[in-house]
Structure 1
Amino acid sequence: MHKVIVVEDDRIIRRGICQAIPWGEHGFVIAGEAGDGEVALELIEKEQPQVVVSDINMPFMSGLEMAKQIKDRSPETRIIFLTGYEDFKYAQEAIKLKAFDYLLKPVDSEYLLTKAKEAAADWEKESVKEKRIIESLPLLQQKFFQKLIREGDYRVDVEKELLGLDVQMEGPFFAVILVKNTIEQDVEGYFFKEKITSFTSSYFNELNCLVMNSDIGEYTILLSLENDHDSRKAELAQALFNFLNKEIDDTITITHGRAYPNLFEVGKSFLEARVAMDMRHIMGTGRVISLDETVSKCDEQENLVLDLEMKLENHIKSGLPEKAKETLVDLSTAIVDRKSVALSDLKVLGLKFSTMLFFEIEKWKKEDLKNSFNSSVIYKDIMELTTLTEMIDILHILIDQWSTAMFRKKEKNYYSHVDQAIKYMQGDFHDSSLTLQKVAELIHVSTPYLSNLFKMEKGFNFGDYLLELRMKKAMELLGEGDIKTYEVCEQVGYSNPQYFSICFKKYTGVTPAEYKKKFK
């Protein structure tokens, strides 16, 4: 039903419009009536009607004065003015205010109803159009950034494209921050973007920042800065990273480009942030990276990398696990300094040395170590790795296996690390700040190292195990008695009831409310 509010100082005319016209039979409801503009404004702001039928000349506040304020309080509302011949002079002002129509009294009831239908149809058409624009905007934003990556800022009219996306920034300098995570679901992605937008707005007003979709699980923050050394850019990047790390149980990587004095040059800042993001497999995920960090310090590092690869190969063939471990550390440092090793090359390197280490482990292992590793799992992990740290951790684990097999001794190995992690998680899963990084710090290992150990030993990852712990406890609580969903949410480690409900349905197939009904 479309809402109509009638504003007319003549009570008889007002009641006639409200009662003589069969509004309900034609999809309308009278949401209120008023005798002057001041009273009407409160109604309009509250009800947000599709149509307002108003006299133009009234005491206290005229229809024209009211219309000016309606544009701020209920901008989508269509206004139909009624007036006598003597007030026709107001027609020009009504046109300026973009009134939907201007009818002379006495107005025919059927004619007024027809105009109200036209006004409601116009509102509907504009509403659908606006909804389509809002729904398609993330896709349009992604297409713009993909075009920018593909063609470069020198071939794309960045300023024109941004204006087409309704982007208006104050300046005088402009820069880009990129935020990347692995959430791909639409609903979770929406919450993630909302968190970024809310936090960013605490640093910049709405005309100085804008969060846009640049790819799946990736968001671009456009910033207006005071100068090219404005410290707020780096401060925001680090503060946002710290905030998201606590709010999102996922790996967050943030990069930023330089600041430029023209809006059309913001494309350069985006491409610089993009380069930094593409180097995250070397620089490491789960951190803030600036473009300057990714600039290579020494082009001669390539030869050093090749020399260390050969050295590591010789240590493995010579049966020197401790030397191999030392060289692996040096190789990791050299690759980081070089900053130009492709991810595909890292995977080839990982496969080469993991194969060599498998051979050595098979040669030395005893019966008690027969099932201590799974080669197919590690092969899959290497093919899916996204950072240098992940590859180095996998090889470190294999060297430890090799060393244990060679010297037939039970030293502290990765099994105890995983067991310690699981024990801690079982006791503290209700902690909303519990993350892989926090658990890794508590048991004194690196985050990627612990992540790989989970998959190698248990066959599942940290996030899946934590989700299972929380969901099983949530199911138990929901089945015990009359407990509120938000209470369960807090008791199993979630700070956002909506996100908890999404996770619960994904795990069980039903919402918390639907699950509770089973026990009534």
Structure 2
Amino acid sequence: MKKVFLIDDEMIIRKGIANGIDWKEEGFEYCGDAPDGEVALPLIEQCKPDIVITDIKMPFMDGLQISRILREKMPSVKIIILSGHDEFEYAREAIRIRVTEYCLKPLSASDLLHTLHKVSAQIDKEQIQERKYNDLKTKALQNLSISKDKFLIDLCDGVYSTSDAIKHASELGIDIIASYYFIVIIESKQLRSIDTDWIKEGYTCLTFWKNTKEKVFIFQGTSLDQLEQAATNIRKKMQSREESICFGIGKIENRIQGISLSYAEAQEEKSYARIIYKYNKQATGDDLQSKKELHHSFNRKELIQFLKFGNIGQIKEFSKSYSSYLQTSTIHSPLLYYYFLMDFTITITHFIKEMDNDSGDVLGQIKDKEMRASWIREYQEVITYMEEVLSIVIGSRDQTNSKYGTIIQKTKEYILENFADPKLSLQTSAAKVNVSASYLSHMFSNETGQTLTEFLTNTRIERAKELLKTTNDKTYEIAYKVGYSDSHYFCHSFKKVTGMTTKAFKNSGEIIPIK
């Protein structure tokens, strides 16, 4: 039911219109009237009518003046002007103000009703159009949000080259260009009900939900010191929170391509944290407090990095550094030593299982050492235990360095067999050869001189070149066959790699050898 408000300086006209129409029967609500625009304005703001009927010539504030104000303050209100002045200037000004209807007096009740119904129908039509527009806008925003999340997920998975990442980010209105980046991942079954906005306060940060219990933050900055401080602060705050949250923080990278590496490292740290959390979850009372203090005293990520890249000669120094909390702590109890060594051993065991399928012998040796951990009473015994376990792991790792070639070869074979899969990425390749994504990324780059993403792109483009020369397939069909779900993206990548468009290449004289 549309609300109607009347403005006219003649009381007899106001009463005549107010009483001469069965408003409810006609589908309207007569919500008030006033003798001039000045008196009418606060009443209109209060009752918020859909339609305002106003005379032109009135004292204090006339119809055109109130119409200008209403058009600015309440643009959706429809205005019907009643005028006894059949003059061009009045009509022209009414049009300029975008008055809905301009009627000449005298006006019968039936004529006014006809005009009101006409305006009411216009309101209904506009409301329907507005709802459709809002629905489309909402859907578009939802699709854009999905597209943005999909892009950020693919970016973290290492799907894009630098130029392609910048191009797609620009199309989605995302600014990904920065001097430095690092990733934070948090995970909890109750994550939707936990406040996580504090993590990004004061920093430039892109966020997305990987799933219902995992949220990812891509931090950006112009200063290495700034992001190092951010990572340190986040780690301290996360460790001091009471909620059961597992988290991982990747190292700071200075290239867009490094985002996927930082993401892989953050995922890796989070997976270790989850293992330790399950172990610690059984603790209660004093045990729990001891574990909390110990958990906050060191950065497990340091241990993982040492397991990957440390050497035999650094074991003694690392053991002292990593366990320094035990030496400086006011608590010197066998229980604290035991918790520390269990955390240390579980982290190493998880690392070995991720790094090497054929790890039974090494795990057996560590298990033998672990059996005597509960008997350790002195700090020096802790150091000895650490040195012995690390010597086993680092020694085994060094002996298997020759496996790099085998792992790289298996990775290349997997890519050559599955490049047509649009979902193929660093993560899926790492899972196939049973190593972590960060480990494979580091190894692949060192051994081949190119990133895994670059190798995958080149493989796809080489196959596309063959298809362009040997088939009559359309461009979008070839794009699909070589692993691109977006033909425009395929054409962009093809030109970037070859320096030619697909059409120009097809018509060129370059010969593709038949394999």
Could you tell me the TM-score, scaled by structure 1's length? 0.40
Structure of larger gyration radius: 2
* TM-score, length basis structure 2: 0.40
